[in-house]
């Protein structure tokens, strides 16, 4: 029974990934209220799978990849739809995707160069993710629930832009330092 329970966090992450096409369909067919609530459920399930993984001592290697993959897949898909529909500016989505590609490129480069770079999220990156989620929720809430949040949305877009640029710059600085010194910026360990 415990073995089955330990699979639960990864199953929840997989369900979030499988929910992405349905969410995209709901958004593109202008079913904003249903999309809003599906995204809320996805957000709650994100917290739930992390809690269960720790509580059940079920943190797995695949889970460390599935959880952020589910988060990013949902967030990017929703943001692209909202930009396409005109609810979010395209430039903020492009900026966020560029930062994510920078991080992915850093990870891939570190593997090629056999460096043990830390990919642990930094505080500003966590803040950026939270702000992106809030921005999406407000954009959807504005359309689905009729919230009048134009000034709040403008402020959120610029906060997301600032935290995206700062976090991307900090990751780049961290990894550039590691490349030039051959050290892991998180632990001080040298490359293999």
Domain final position from 33, 54, 86: 86
Q: Mind listing the pLDDT tens digit for each residue in 144-167? A: 777 777 888 899 999 999 999 999
Q: Are residues 107 and 128 in the same domain?
A: yes
Q: Are residues 161 and 133 in the same domain?
A: yes
Tell me what pLDDT residue 177 has.
76
pTM here? 0.81
Domain final position from 86, 105, 134: 86
Long-range contacts of 78-86 (CB under 8 A, 24+ apart): 78/23, 78/24, 78/27, 78/35, 78/39, 78/136, 78/140, 79/132, 79/136, 81/23, 81/24, 81/27, 81/28, 82/27, 82/136, 82/139, 82/140, 84/28, 85/27, 85/28, 85/30
CB 149 within 8 A of CB 137: no
Total domains in the fold of the chain? 2
Q: Are residues 79 and 165 in the same domain?
A: no
Q: Mind listing the pLDDT tens digit for each residue in 89-147? A: 999 999 999 998 988 888 787 778 777 666 677 899 889 988 998 899 888 888 777 77
Tell me what pLDDT residue 187 has.
44
Which one has a higher pLDDT value, 141 or 37? 37
Domain final position from 56, 86, 116: 86
Q: In the chain, count H helices and then E strands.
A: 6, 0
Is residue 30's pLDDT more than 90? yes
Is residue 47's pLDDT more than 90? no
The residues, any chain, with a CB within 8 Å of residue 157's CB and separated by 6 or more, are 88, 89, 92, 135
Share of the chain above pLDDT 70, in %: 90
Give residue for tokens 């505080």. Answer: 123
């Amino acid at each position: 029974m415990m073995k089955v329970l330990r699979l639960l966090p990864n199953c929840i992450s997989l369900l979030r990934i499988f929910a992405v096409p349905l969410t995209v369909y709901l958004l593109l067919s202008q079913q904003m209220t249903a999309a809003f609530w599906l995204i809320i459920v996805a957000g709650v399930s994100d917290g739930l799978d992390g809690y269960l993984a720790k509580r059940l001592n079920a943190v797995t290697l695949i889970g460390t990849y599935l959880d952020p993959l589910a988060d990013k897949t949902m967030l990017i898909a929703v943001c692209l739809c909202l930009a396409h529909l005109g609810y979010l500016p395209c430039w903020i989505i492009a900026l966020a995707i560029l930062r994510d590609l920078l991080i992915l490129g850093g990870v891939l480069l570190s593997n090629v160069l056999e460096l043990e770079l830390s990919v642990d999220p930094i505080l500003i990156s966590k803040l950026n993710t939270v702000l992106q989620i809030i921005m999406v929720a407000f954009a959807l809430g504005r359309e689905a629930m009729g919230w009048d949040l134009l000034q709040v949305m403008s402020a959120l877009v610029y906060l997301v832009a600032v935290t995206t640029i700062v976090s991307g710059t900090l990751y780049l600085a961290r990894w550039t330092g590691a490349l030039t010194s051959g050290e892991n910026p998180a632990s001080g360990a040298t490359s293999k």
